[in-house]
Structure 1
Amino acid sequence: MNKPDWTHIRAFLATADAGTLSAAARQLNLTQPTLSRQVSALEESLGVMLFERLGRRLALTDAGRELLPHGRKMLEGADGLCLAASAQAQSIEGTIRITASDMMSAFVLPPVLQILRQQAPRLSIDIVAANDIRDLMRREADIAIRHVRPDQPELITRLVQEATAHFYAAPSYLARRGQPGSLAALSSHEFVNFGDIQRSIEFLAPLGVHLTPDNFRIGSNSGLAAWELVRQGFGIGAMADDVVEHSSGVERLLTDQPPIRFPVWLTTHRELHSSRRIRLVYDLLAEFFAAK
């Protein structure tokens, strides 16, 4: 039996209390599919079924009822730990600089930044919306969130999420060019360039999407500007699903295709071991992405 993840135990407790996945997901500020995966992961690690479906509600199995009080004791202990840590966090002050892409900065980070403000109200937060890891190397940021793992030995790096993406387009574009019926059919469509055409071509080729620079007639090195071009019907864009959850005006293409998967790396300096300020934010970001 694998050691259970606390995030999965918390999902189990919330689902047991709420009686439905949708209500528990709202309570934990998660999407329903994410919560369902966490509960399933706990069942797999424990080797038991925790719930059975009764109509629209979920009922605890015998195993679930037996494990519930143990889970509640863990929750009480965690609450006590958080209260003690909260007292420590309240005294943390100074400035923390987090660098992430402009898309992640605008669409993904705000919820965790709200939590950070509550836990450390005396801490100032500066978001460096950029795509260059050298921001971290030049000490222009304390923590970097990137999709490519840096290889500098003086940095501490942790894989915190395997994110997913799909192809999206605006209804106006689809009305003009039609729905692509397959990955191969995408080669005849227009794409919006997000700053590096050759890198996009090389990334999509193994997926069976064979593009040339002629597919990219418009774009921007600003992710926000490029995404707006997609929303305005200029072409197709591959975008992270957690970004689209907070956006609008686009449709997912090729819904029967598996998602594009890519890593999310959390990186900081070795100062992590000696700075309470960096440790607090680093751990909070790691928990946030692991729960998604």
Structure 2
Amino acid sequence: MDWNKARAFVVTAEEGSFSAAARKLSMTQPTLSRQVMSLEADLAVTLFERNGQMIELTQAGLELLEPARKMYEAAQAFTMVASGQSQSLEGQVVVSVCEMDAVYRLPSILDELRQHEPGIRVEVVVTNGVSDLKRREADIAIRSFRPTEYDFIAKKLGEEHIGLYGTKRYVEALVDNYKQVQILGFNQIDRIITLLSHHGWELDESHFGLVTNYQPMQIALCEKDLGVLFMPEDVANSLPHFHKVPGFEQPLMELPVWLVSPHELRNNRKVKRVFDFIASRLNKRLEPNI
């Protein structure tokens, strides 16, 4: 069996649509649909019932999904072990990072890496979700938690110190009356209200007039004097027009920063080179006295 056809079937079943599966696999929808149809022809079964844009697994599809998933995972493991033997410092390495890392931390690191290793082509996957390293969605990931699986290489790079920041003009206005504050950012309003209540701020939903999980937009809104936001200290220090909100000189929270890679890639020279390079540069940024 063509492993690509099994992959197309499994990911389509998991994502629930051809368009979502195509995005997941970074291919066009017609290509993915052809792979699924070809697999159906090979097996002489119908795997999906199609109703316009909606699809649903047939009984045959349901029964074949788990064996196909095991085949797909076995093929991924085979490919990963084979990739792990590479001793070349040329080729592609995929790094998964969050929006804040992608915009404010990684560019300078990749600039330096390119000077040292021009033969390594780095693809950056930007997501605030968790890339599936076992399925080769990335070779390396920066995460705020340590993986629990034994078959990952994980290195703690330091702590991310999160504070409350705004423009100088905005935070100075809060000295006399914090009740006029607007909090920019995430949709976990109740959690933020509870956190800030421990610091004497009594807030309600009226203090959250602009909410977005897209971190670069939070910063852009803050620059327009539309509110304050939670920001890592090292990022805020690189943006001179941002200042800590009075009364919040100490970090509101600390999050660990981990660099993670599948154990099978430990002998892959180019992956190890990128892993070690990012680790050393981020460690210095997060722990500047080291």
Bin of the TM-score, shorter chain as denominator length: 0.5 to 0.7
**Partner residue of 1:179 out of 174, 179, 194:** 174
Structure 2 residue 156 is matched with structure 1 residue 159: yes
Structure 2 residue 260 is matched with structure 1 residue 267: yes
Aligned equivalents of 1:203, 1:271: Cα separation in 2? 41
Question: Given the superposition, is the C-alpha separation of residues 256 and 245 from structure 1 closer, same or farther in structure 2, using an over 3 Å criterion?
Answer: closer
Once the two structures are superposed, residues 204-245 of structure 1 have per-residue CA deviations (whole angstroms, 9 ceiling, x without a partner) of: 566666654443221212111111111111111111122123
- 1:91 Cα shift? 4.9
Normalised to the residue count of structure 2, the TM-score between the two structures is 0.59
Question: Given the superposition, is the C-alpha separation of residues 151 and 201 from structure 1 closer, same or farther in structure 2, using an over 3 Å criterion?
Answer: farther
Question: Given the superposition, is the C-alpha separation of residues 259 and 282 from structure 1 closer, same or farther in structure 2, using an over 3 Å criterion?
Answer: same
Once the two structures are superposed, residues 69-105 of structure 1 have per-residue CA deviations (whole angstroms, 9 ceiling, x without a partner) of: xxxxxxxxxxxxxxxxxxxxx9511111111111211
Structure 2 residue 114 is matched with structure 1 residue 109: no
The Cα RMSD (Å) is 2.9
Aligned equivalents of 2:242, 2:256: Cα separation in 1? 24
Question: Given the superposition, is the C-alpha separation of residues 208 and 179 from structure 1 closer, same or farther in structure 2, using an over 3 Å criterion?
Answer: closer
- 1:262 Cα shift? 2.3
Structure 2 residue 221 is matched with structure 1 residue 229: yes
Which residue of structure 2 lines up, in the alignment, with residue 128 of structure 1?
Answer: 125
| Alpha carbons 1:93, 1:124 under 8 Å: kept | yes
1:237-248, aligned counterparts within 5 Å? Answer: 237-248=229-240
| Alpha carbons 2:144, 2:255 under 8 Å: kept | yes
| Alpha carbons 1:92, 1:123 under 8 Å: kept | yes
Once the two structures are superposed, residues 162-191 of structure 1 have per-residue CA deviations (whole angstroms, 9 ceiling, x without a partner) of: 12232111245346xx2247xxx8576210
| Alpha carbons 2:133, 2:140 under 8 Å: kept | yes
Structure 2 residue 278 is matched with structure 1 residue 285: yes
Question: Given the superposition, is the C-alpha separation of residues 125 and 197 from structure 1 closer, same or farther in structure 2, using an over 3 Å criterion?
Answer: farther
- 1:141 Cα shift? 1.3
| Alpha carbons 2:221, 2:227 under 8 Å: kept | yes
Which residue of structure 1 lines up, in the alignment, with residue 185 of structure 2?
Answer: 193
Aligned equivalents of 1:282, 1:205: Cα separation in 2? 40
Q: Taking every aligned residue pair, what percent have the same amino acid on both sides? A: 28
- 1:287 Cα shift? 1.2
**Partner residue of 1:276 out of 263, 269, 277:** 269
**Partner residue of 2:97 out of 96, 100, 116:** 100
**Partner residue of 2:246 out of 254, 271, 287:** 254
Aligned equivalents of 1:216, 1:99: Cα separation in 2? 30
- 1:286 Cα shift? 1.4
Letter in 2 for 1:164: H
State which drifts further: 128-137 or 112-121: 128-137
Which residue of structure 1 lines up, in the alignment, with residue 165 of structure 2?
Answer: 168
Once the two structures are superposed, residues 56-81 of structure 1 have per-residue CA deviations (whole angstroms, 9 ceiling, x without a partner) of: xxxxxxxxxxxxxxxxxxxxxxxxxx
Name the count of aligned residue pairs.
Answer: 198
User: Which of 1 and 2 has greater Rg?
Assistant: 2
- 1:136 Cα shift? 3.4
| Alpha carbons 1:195, 1:222 under 8 Å: kept | no
| Alpha carbons 1:201, 1:211 under 8 Å: kept | yes
Aligned equivalents of 2:278, 2:174: Cα separation in 1? 37
Question: Given the superposition, is the C-alpha separation of residues 146 and 180 from structure 1 closer, same or farther in structure 2, using an over 3 Å criterion?
Answer: farther
Aligned equivalents of 2:203, 2:129: Cα separation in 1? 25
Normalised to the residue count of structure 1, the TM-score between the two structures is 0.59
Question: Given the superposition, is the C-alpha separation of residues 187 and 264 from structure 1 closer, same or farther in structure 2, using an over 3 Å criterion?
Answer: farther
Higher relative contact order (CA 8 A, sep 6+): 2
Aligned equivalents of 1:291, 1:135: Cα separation in 2? 27
Aligned equivalents of 2:150, 2:192: Cα separation in 1? 28
2:226 alignment partner, SS class: coil
